[in-house]
Amino acid sequence: RSCLKSSPVLHKQNSSPQPPPAKYGGRHTVTLIPGDGIGPELLNHVRELFRFSCVPVDFEVVNVNSSVATEDDIHNAITAIRRNGVALKGNIETNHNMPPSHKSRNNLLRTSLDLFANMMHCQSLPGVQTRHKNIDIIIIRENTEGEYSSLEHESVSGVVESLKIITRYNSLRIADYAFRLAREKGRRRVTAVHKANIMKLADGLFLQCCKEVASGYPDIQFDSMIVDNTTMQLVSKPHQFDVMVMPNLYGNVVSNVCAGLVGGPGLVPGANYGTNYAVFETATRNTGKSIADKNIANPTAMLLASCLMLDHLRLHDYANMIRGAVLTTMNETRLHTADIGGQGTTSEVVQSVMKNIQSGGPLTTEQI
Amino acid sequence: DFTKSWIIILQTVTLIPGDGIGPEISTAVMKIFEAAKAPIQWEERNVTAIKGPGGKWMIPTEAKDSMDKSKIGLKGPLKTPIAAGHPSMNLLLRKTFDLYANVRPCVSIEGYKTPYTDVDLVTIRENTEGEYSGIEHVIVDGVVQSIKLITEEASQRIAEYAFEYARNNQRASVTAVHKANIMRMSDGLFLRKCREVAENFKDIKFTEMYLDTVCLNMVQDPTQFDVLVMPNLYGDILSDLCAGLIGGLGVTPSGNIGANGVAIFESVHGTAPDIAGKDLANPTALLLSAVMMLRHMGLHGQAKKIETACFDTIRDKKVLTKDLGGNSKCSEFTGEICRRVQDME
């Protein structure tokens, strides 16, 4: 299979990149980018919780000012992440009324660090009221190319062309990531989401690459579905989905639909993996401007993202301890913020998590 | 008033039954319209692709002439031929009549239960350009580029249609759906045109929302949405997402608005070859599209009558086709709606 000879497969045991080793004293340094909106307050809670739980992680805070035109801040952040290898971030606002030269800082970060895989594990929480129950879907989204290539030009006045780039290299890479992860987690089916009936060359190439990789994983079932049908199926029969892999834009759509299905943007953590770096954040990347600094934001997604980060650093005991406490608060104590129908404040939720950690609450080894 | 009761103006509508279950659901709609005494005269036409002079694929002249004259069409599902050598029929129709706006009102059907209740929104999708321009190239081996085209003209046209629709149908707000944070130039242009058009429709509230935020909020609380206007791909995805909220393509109406006053209303489900000819099909989608057509023609009274008869039948749950959860035949379901319509006289 000549295609696989030139494939960018990482010849390692598992799908995630190697974490940087702990420094002297067994402590890790992680880059922290507060971002805008609810980012700063949620990340403060993470730091508070880590201090409380004696997590051996030190944060190097790098602020990125989204209102200035220069890209110095984001490049400083990128440098810091190259140095530390791992980051936890809030969303940086993009003013879409600025000219095209002012690019999305978040996108710049992802492409510069080549964080090619966005991973989102969507699981229903028993303690949260939703229309659909028991959803368990892993979404793998290509994170660097596709419609997010930022290649646009006005060829003739009043006519704009935006280029969507699909490459064999990145398609094989993301498909390989998806199948490796599926195998690692004991999942049985991978569904590729596409629109190859219309975008015959671009999505056709993506689909072809998925099929090629699938042939190397006979233990895992592979099928494909057109994106519009996918969204229709998700809102009516979400349980048919297991692991899904797709190009950038469809990933954006499907991630948000799934996050909505399990209870909203405040609950789901997300991870961005590259060959050498990993950046953790909330799955739906919202700035939450309208609820910032009001102590009403749901800290769950960010707290769970910090647990994903701890897992990445192989600090599994700390990860499980915090995750267990968060889930207890959500499912048993049921202290909920307004976005999921409760009346608790952000700090009340965090206090409850700390109380659960202190009382040595039900330690769970359930991976989220 | 004396003269009104004697003059019935019959409007001609070009009917394209389509393939598979198309003919039987078309017959069902015609029966219901007859029972309702709707002033419609059907002109049936076929749209199999033919090769015209110069080797270009086109729809038969009789079909085109009929539509150009009547301006209104009702269409059943058309099968997509594999390796027939010509583009899809839907694409051909779109190009022939410059069907630039795809409109899908999504209203929860009482009696057909889904996890979502109280959905009442309309998706208006730009249907000629955007990501579906079909312009793709292999740059080098292993690198493909697909071009998304956004023009000032098309964006303005669809925005104008959206606001006109909102005004004509008493809708309170129009939301432009975009990803201008990432696709600054293309979606930025689309957004700009929407904002410009909004200036001329101060009676309608205008908002903008990122595509992902719309998706996120749509599945949590669809009641917050009213009229949504967007470029081609987002429209494709969102209109199907919304159809899923109310029960799927079997119950969702759809209309395509073209330049020169042409409008073609259609059911967007497939041809269902496995149940074709067996009197099992559900005509609801085509019927609701026909109701949409009546409203477009200004025949609101007739539209309401037929729509109510259809919804009442579904709510009653006594005579339902299989896909709606019952075990009645298409003809029985149709008959029940006809009876209700006649009782309303």
How does pLDDT run across B89-108, given as a tens digit for each residue? 888 899 999 999 999 999 99
Residue B73, φ and ψ in degrees, nearest 5: -130, 150
Dihedral in degrees, nearest 10, Cα atoms B244, B247, B251, B255: -30
Query: Does any CB of chain B come closer than 8 Å to the CB of residue A137?
Result: no
3-class DSSP state for residue B222? helix
Tell me the DSSP string of B82-151.
SS-SS--HHHHHHHHHTEEEEEEEEE--TTS--S--S-EEEEEEE-SSEEEEEEEEEEETTEEEEEEEEE
Percent of chain A at pLDDT exceeding 90 = 89
A64, A87, A190, A318, A327 from A43: Cα distances, Å = 14, 12, 33, 17, 18
pLDDT at A20: 83
Between A207 and B88, whose confidence is greater?
A207
Neighboring chain B residues of A202 at a CB cutoff of 8 Å? 136, 144-146
pLDDT at A368: 40
Provide the terminal-to-terminal Cα distance of chain A, rounded to the nearest Å.
35
Mutate to test the interface with A, among B185, B187, B196, B221 (most CBs of A within 10 A): B185
Q: Which residue of B has its CA nearest to A92?
A: B181
The closest CB to that of A256, out of B134, B152, B215, belongs to B215
CA distance A161 to chain B (A): 5
Closest CA to B262 of B71, B12, B101: B71
Task: Supply the mean pLDDT for chain A.
Answer: 93
pLDDT beyond 50 at A3? no
3-class DSSP state for residue B236? helix
**B2 sits in which H/E element:** none
Whether residue A270 contacts residue A259, with contact meaning beta carbons closer than 8 Å, is answered with no
The one-character DSSP state at B17 is -
Would you tell me the crossing angle of helices A346-358 and A39-52 to the nearest 10 degrees?
20
Interface of A with B in 234-293 (CB under 8 A): 234-236, 249, 252-253, 255-257, 259-261, 264-265, 284, 286
The closest CB to that of B144, out of A202, A233, A261, belongs to A202
Task: Read off the pLDDT of residues A135-182 as tens digits, 9 standing for 90 and up.
Answer: 999 999 999 999 999 899 998 999 999 999 999 999 999 999 999 999
pLDDT at B184: 95
Neighboring chain B residues of A203 at a CB cutoff of 8 Å? 146
Closest CA to A346 of A87, A43, A62: A43
With CB atoms and an 8 Å threshold, state whether B151 touches A231.
no
Distance CA A231, CA B109 (A): 20
| Out of A356-360, B143-147, B263-267, least confident range | A356-360
Joined together, the tokens standing for residue B30 give 């015609």
Task: Read off the pLDDT of residues A304-336 as tens digits, 9 standing for 90 and up.
Answer: 999 999 999 999 999 999 999 999 999 999 999
**Residue type for A308, please?**
L
pLDDT beyond 60 at A344? yes
Query: Does any CB of chain B come closer than 8 Å to the CB of residue A168?
Result: yes
A105, A258, A323, B153, B243 from A336: Cα distances, Å = 32, 20, 16, 48, 31
Task: Read off the pLDDT of residues A64-103 as tens digits, 9 standing for 90 and up.
Answer: 999 999 999 999 999 999 999 999 999 999 999 999 999 9
pLDDT beyond 70 at A5? no
Mutate to test the interface with A, among B220, B232, B249, B251 (most CBs of A within 10 A): B220
Closest CA to A245 of A261, A220, A268, A224: A224
Q: How many CB atoms lie within 10 A of CB A114?
A: 16
pLDDT beyond 60 at B36? yes
Mutate to test the interface with A, among B88, B127, B186 (most CBs of A within 10 A): B186
Task: Supply the mean pLDDT for chain B.
Answer: 93
Neighboring chain B residues of A153 at a CB cutoff of 8 Å? 185
pLDDT at B80: 73
Query: Does any CB of chain A come closer than 8 Å to the CB of residue B219?
Result: yes
Interface of B with A in 164-193 (CB under 8 A): 179-189, 191
Would you tell me the crossing angle of helices A168-184 and A202-214 to the nearest 10 degrees?
40
pLDDT beyond 60 at B190? yes
Mutate to test the interface with A, among B212, B221, B249 (most CBs of A within 10 A): B212
pLDDT at A26: 85
With CB atoms and an 8 Å threshold, state whether A162 touches B217.
no
CA distance A318 to chain B (A): 31
pLDDT at A365: 40
Distance CA B211, CA B192 (A): 16
A239, B154, B162 from B101: Cα distances, Å = 34, 10, 9
CA distance B179 to chain A (A): 9
Whether residue B217 contacts residue A235, with contact meaning beta carbons closer than 8 Å, is answered with no
Query: Does any CB of chain B come closer than 8 Å to the CB of residue A169?
Result: yes
Closest CA to A102 of B257, B27, B180, B162: B180
pLDDT beyond 70 at A31? yes
Interface of A with B in 82-101 (CB under 8 A): 94, 96-100
Q: What is the ipTM of this complex?
A: 0.93
pLDDT beyond 50 at B161? yes
pLDDT at A10: 45
Interface of B with A in 284-343 (CB under 8 A): none
Helix segments in A113-247, DSSP class H: 168-184, 202-214, 227-236
pLDDT at B276: 95
pLDDT beyond 70 at A204? yes
Task: Read off the pLDDT of residues B285-336 as tens digits, 9 standing for 90 and up.
Answer: 999 999 999 999 999 999 999 999 999 999 999 999 999 999 999 999 999 9
B114, B192, B222 from B226: Cα distances, Å = 19, 20, 9
pLDDT at A25: 78
Distance CA B154, CA B130 (A): 9
**A45 sits in which H/E element:** helix A39-52
CA distance A95 to chain B (A): 7
Task: Read off the pLDDT of residues B205-244 as tens digits, 9 standing for 90 and up.
Answer: 999 999 999 999 999 999 999 999 999 999 999 999 999 9
Query: Does any CB of chain B come closer than 8 Å to the CB of residue A296?
Result: no
What is the CA B332 to chain-centroid distance, rounded? 26
Whether residue A243 contacts residue A140, with contact meaning beta carbons closer than 8 Å, is answered with yes
Distance CA A206, CA A203 (A): 5
Dihedral in degrees, nearest 10, Cα atoms A200, A202, A207, A213: 140
pLDDT at A364: 41
Tell me the DSSP string of A251-315.
HHHHHHHHHHHHT-TTT-EEEEE-SS-EEEEETT----GGGTTTT-S--HHHHHHHHHHHHHTT-
Q: How many CB atoms lie within 10 A of CB B64?
A: 17
pLDDT at A336: 97
Closest CA to A330 of A127, A120, A117, A40: A127
Query: Does any CB of chain B come closer than 8 Å to the CB of residue A338?
Result: no
Neighboring chain A residues of B188 at a CB cutoff of 8 Å? 96-97, 100
Radius of gyration of chain B (CA): 21
Residues 6+ apart with CB under 8 A from B24: B276, B277, B279, B281, B283, B330
Mutate to test the interface with A, among B82, B116, B121, B144 (most CBs of A within 10 A): B144
Distance CA B72, CA A212 (A): 47
CA distance B181 to chain A (A): 5
3-class DSSP state for residue B326? coil
Q: Which residue of B has its CA nearest to A168?
A: B142
DSSP lists the bridge partners of residue A221 as A189
With CB atoms and an 8 Å threshold, state whether B219 touches A257.
yes
Burial B28-62 (b: 16+ CB within 10 A, else e): bbbbbbebbebebebbebebebeeeeeeebbbeee
